[in-house]
Amino acid sequence: VANALLLVPPFLKIAYGPLLGPAMLVGAALGGGHDVQVNDLNAAWIRERLEVTSEVRRFVGDHDRPAALTNMHREFVANAHLHVTRDTHEAVFTAAKRLADGAFGAWVCEKLDCGSRPPDVVGVSVMYRDQVEPALAMTMIARRRWPGALVVWGGAHVTALRDEIAGDGRYGGDGLIERFVFGYAEQTWRAMLDAVAHREPFPSEAIRAGDGRWLRAVGDLSVVPVFHDLPSYAKASLTLPVQSSRGCTYGACAYCTYPNIEGDPCELPWSAIDPVIELAIEHGAALSFKDSLVEGKRLEAFAERIGGRVQWSACTKLDARLPGRLSHLAVGGCKTLEIGLETLDLAAQGLIKKRQSEATWLAFLDAAAAAGVAVIANYITGLPGIDRGDEIQSRAAAERALMARRPALVSKLEHNTFQLERLAPMAREPARFGLHITERSPWSSVLKSTTRPRLIQIRKRA
């Protein structure tokens, strides 16, 4: 039997419940007969600092967070100097060492001071760039404390860097991080723990930095997540993450990395989903579906299955039949839908390969207002080669449509400025999209670029 510890570094803006990825790895490890603990230092950091407020909660799921959390994130970034651009590995590791040797490191040491048996394996989950220096600092501390433990990194941000990690040994930090896994990894994680327990070779998909090639980790759709610390969350606001599918069945959006990160689309069996639904009912918790895209029929299946016994949220895409489904979804407990609207500008829609009709958008908002389903509309501006004036106008139109339906419609336009992500189709064929890549920084999944005349023509539809 192997003894493993999973670490989650700050900062993720999640206040009301545990994370799904570590819970899946716990489920996988326990299924293999191993011991595993999660030390979610992100949750611990937030819990120690977040004051209970009487703030009205307008949304369920990822956007259900108190305003104070955003300020706390800003403060964390400033104090840890995470806003500084670091263009070399040396700069990143030096900053991490400074964190490890300072007040943050002292806090981490205190938090790791639990459990009597040293772990055989330390897994570190890294979802976003902001976690890199804190994760490296935590790894340095774990290394000092348990020099014999195998350290393995995984998570969405690590997956986004898979080509760079495979091609550059410096990501391993001179033996600091021994293995990396890319993508969903329940089966790979279990196989690693088996290998440690039986002193056998590691699975080939657990690579070393600079190995020269990467392999996608092996997931296990049948795993039921095991949440280790539910009592430490406030019962009234507890939200459980759940997943019903991986990958994206649409998979065409040119700016999006999900299809590449998550792999081919597939559905999880209900035998892995139902226990989480039941757990949420038992705890009176809300459910937040983490699928990158839930199609209409699957949303209806959730509504049937959950039957309004708990509130839930999911992310979907506009289609002509969605407005007609909303009353049914609301009866089934759906409280918040996140829509990847991205843009109403037709030229921009052509560029990103995501056509969505304004008439459907408006019909969807009317149906959501009538059904009492809150809406988060994701919107991107700053797309290359798109007229900025047109973008401003179309964003204003999207906002007006939301405002005009208040107070019946609870909504938010979640605005993001375009970023070129390494694994997005636009980064793989930049010239086609009028982009020229000018800079790549280590540990960053975002590339710097300038615009050029496009190789593909995009015309506005009549």
Residue 199 backbone dihedrals phi, psi, to 5 degrees: 50, 50
- Residue 235 and residue 69: Cα distance in Å, rounded? 18
CB nearer to ligand SF4: pick between 227 and 255 = 255
Q: How far is the CB of 231 from ligand SF4 (least distance, A)?
A: 34
Q: Which stretch binds ligand SF4 (CB under 6 A): 74-82, 248-256, 297-305, 331-339?
A: 248-256
- Residue 443 and residue 462: Cα distance in Å, rounded? 43
Quickly tell me which residue has 């560029």 as its tokens. Answer: 351
In 3D, which of 294, 397, 419, 424 has the Cα closest to residue 343? 397
Task: Evaluate whether 123 touches 155 at the Cβ level (below 8 Å).
Answer: no
- Residue 409 and residue 402: Cα distance in Å, rounded? 7
CB nearer to ligand SF4: pick between 143 and 354 = 354
In 3D, which of 197, 168, 211, 203 has the Cα closest to residue 185? 203
The correct pick among 43, 127, 207, 248 for binding ligand SF4 (CB under 6 A) is 248
Reported as type and span, the H/E element at residue 271 is: helix 270-283
The correct pick among 143, 190, 246, 317 for binding ligand SF4 (CB under 6 A) is 317
CB nearer to ligand SF4: pick between 223 and 424 = 424
Binding to ligand SF4 (CB under 6 A) within 337-396 occurs at 340
Binding to ligand SF4 (CB under 6 A) within 176-215 occurs at none
CB nearer to ligand SF4: pick between 317 and 422 = 317
Q: How far is the CB of 249 from ligand SF4 (least distance, A)?
A: 8
Strand order in the sheet with 121-125: 35-40, 3-8, 121-125, 150-154, 179-180
> Is position 132 an interface residue for ligand SF4 (rule: CB under 6 A)?
no
SS3 110: helix
CB nearer to ligand SF4: pick between 46 and 423 = 423
Measured on CA atoms in the order 258, 259, 262, 267, is the torsion positive or negative? Answer: positive
Q: Which stretch binds ligand SF4 (CB under 6 A): 36-44, 213-221, 249-257, 270-278?
A: 249-257
CB nearer to ligand SF4: pick between 44 and 242 = 242
CB nearer to ligand SF4: pick between 42 and 243 = 243
> Is position 107 an interface residue for ligand SF4 (rule: CB under 6 A)?
no
Residue 451 backbone dihedrals phi, psi, to 5 degrees: -95, 150
CB nearer to ligand SF4: pick between 27 and 241 = 241
The correct pick among 169, 251, 263, 296 for binding ligand SF4 (CB under 6 A) is 251
> Is position 250 an interface residue for ligand SF4 (rule: CB under 6 A)?
yes
Q: How far is the CB of 423 from ligand SF4 (least distance, A)?
A: 11
Which one-letter amino acid corresponds to residue 217?
A
Binding to ligand SF4 (CB under 6 A) within 252-311 occurs at 252-253, 256, 258-259, 292-293
Half-sphere exposure at residue 70, Cβ-oriented, CA atoms within 13 angstroms: 6
- The CA–CA distances, whole Å, from 119 to 28, 36, 115, 395 equal 17, 9, 9, 51
The residue ranges that bind ligand SF4 (CB under 6 A) are 248, 250-253, 256, 258-259, 292-293, 317, 340
